[in-house]
Amino acid sequence: MERDTRLEYARKLDQQDALNSYRDEFYLQPEVIYMDGNSLGLLSKRAEQSLLSALDAWKKYGIDGWTQGKDPWFYFSETLSEMCAPLVGAAKEEVIITGSTTTNLHQLIASFYHPEGARIKILADELNFPSDLYAISSQLVLHGYDPKEQMKLVKSRDGDTLSEADIIDAMTDDVALIVLPSVLYRSGQILNMKALTNAAHERNILIGFDLCHSIGSIPHCLDDWDVDFAFWCNYKHLNGGPGAVGGLYVNKKHFGQKPGLAGWFGSDKEKQFDLAIEMTPASNAGAYQIGTPSIFSAAPLYGSLQIFAEAGIHAIREKSLKLTDYMTLLVEEELSDYQFTITNPKEHERRGGHLFLVHEEAARICKALKEYKVIPDFRSPNGIRLAPVALYNSYEDVWRTVQILKKIMKEESYKKFENKRDVVA
């Protein structure tokens, strides 16, 4: 990419962009530059339509919507799972759209954490999203263990990234299970999931990944990497809507193992309504469902996943890298006088779909950006996450965001705000 900071160059890149037409699929507000798609993706017209279709089915069929209509609700989770499976590199039977990130993690730990002898610890990392650590801690407590002793956290050398070598060194004989992020939610670092899985299996340890900040942004090959399990939300890069249903993956080699947390929607579909006292779990990832699916939280994902199937995750990843390369270039060229530090890895194979800018006035700067109708994401104590999303952000969006940042810093307009986060950051 040329080191060209002119607006004309940004517009040239937009003209050459093969995914540019998808921008019209989304509800973009006038004069607003949305750079927070890694927290909550925008609404697409197709997602809106699929939600309205679900409402119409309820209106038309009532209870019979479970088995009638274009997309019967009884099989809707499986329909979405088949659409989602290519994004994680899995067979459709290994994926189920269900629950939420944390409830799915609870399910997977309950199913795959089997402490025995000296193998008691669950290995995680100190940079992981805290919700995952809360779930791990509570599962350890349920087994009668002290999380301070039995949750083993890999330390970061620099406060922003993790060393795969350090993680592998921590895979000692006292570890029973490993839960790691695919992409670190702050710095955007991609962990080498293939190498970590190989190392875990060489030591007879099961390993799973939190894909919340990678699904819909980067390709995955969970089957080829032989990952044991994974879980994710669908409201960030996949644009499934606030509180959208989550998803999980279980490698087919584990099929037949009973779920740790049983619920009637994990039953074999043919036997579910037998309502027998003893449950017969599904023979695939569907067994890890617990309760009745929330149809209206799942419906927008149907429309959104159609877009991903058309655009293709590899084309999305290619543009995402170009957008973040371009933003990095502009920050380096235009903001060099204002003490911003980019903490993302620069290598493409190690960088996810957002940039992480560190500045001591980050909270104030984020508030100033919002005043100028740029939507960022503040991460305490001093981080600004900016996510130019391939399906709806343009190169001109990136150019204007950096120019607004430059204006804010030059005029010091951020100083009128308090340098602390709001209730929701």
CATH of the domain at 137: 3.40.640.10
Task: Say if residue 130 carries a ligand binding annotation.
Answer: yes
Task: Say if residue 26 carries a ligand binding annotation.
Answer: no
Task: Say if residue 235 carries a ligand binding annotation.
Answer: yes
Residues 80 and 170 in one domain: yes
Task: Say if residue 102 carries a ligand binding annotation.
Answer: yes
Q: How far is CA 260 from CA 6, 12, 112, 114, 412, in A?
A: 57, 54, 8, 10, 54
**Would you say residue 110 lies in a domain?**
yes
**Would you say residue 1 lies in a domain?**
no
Q: In the structure, what pLDDT confidence band is assigned to residue 422 with cuts at 50, 70 and 90?
A: confident
**What are the tens digits of pLDDT across the range 195-213?**
999 999 999 999 999 999 9
- What is the number of structural domains in the chain? 2
Task: Say if residue 75 carries a ligand binding annotation.
Answer: no
Percent of residues, the chain, with pLDDT higher than 70: 99
Residues 198 and 293 in one domain: yes
CATH of the domain at 327: 3.90.1150.10
**Would you say residue 44 lies in a domain?**
no
Residues 378 and 329 in one domain: yes
**Would you say residue 220 lies in a domain?**
yes
| Main-chain dihedrals φ then ψ at residue 228, nearest 5 degrees | -80, -45
Q: In the structure, what pLDDT confidence band is assigned to residue 1 with cuts at 50, 70 and 90?
A: confident
Average the pLDDT over 104-112 and give the result.
Answer: 98
Q: Which of 280, 310, 340 is at the close of a domain?
A: 310
Q: In the structure, what pLDDT confidence band is assigned to residue 419 with cuts at 50, 70 and 90?
A: confident
Residues 131 and 152 in one domain: yes
Residues 356 and 274 in one domain: no
Tokens 């970590």: give the residue: 196
Burial class (CB in 10 A: 0-12, 13-18, 19+), 403: middle
* Domain carrying residue 13: 7-30+313-410
Residues 275 and 354 in one domain: no
**Would you say residue 379 lies in a domain?**
yes
Q: Round to whole Å and give the CA distance between 314 and 342.
A: 25
Residues 16 and 147 in one domain: no
Q: Which of 250, 285, 310 is at the close of a domain?
A: 310
Q: Please name the amino acid found at residue 224.
A: D
Residues 188 and 324 in one domain: no
**Would you say residue 370 lies in a domain?**
yes
Residues 286 and 362 in one domain: no
Task: Say if residue 115 carries a ligand binding annotation.
Answer: no
The pTM of this model reads 0.96
Residues 287 and 324 in one domain: no
Task: Say if residue 103 carries a ligand binding annotation.
Answer: no
Beta-carbon-side half-sphere exposure of residue 374 (alpha carbons within 13 Å): 26
Q: Which of 282, 310, 338 is at the close of a domain?
A: 310
Task: Say if residue 101 carries a ligand binding annotation.
Answer: yes
**What are the tens digits of pLDDT across the range 122-157?**
999 999 999 999 999 999 999 999 999 999 999 999
Q: Round to whole Å and give the CA distance between 294 and 266.
A: 14
Average the pLDDT over 218-246 and give the result.
Answer: 98
Residues 333 and 228 in one domain: no
Task: Say if residue 210 carries a ligand binding annotation.
Answer: yes
**Would you say residue 343 lies in a domain?**
yes
Residues 284 and 323 in one domain: no
Query: Is residue 186 within 8 Å of residue 357, measured between CB atoms?
Result: no
**Would you say residue 94 lies in a domain?**
yes
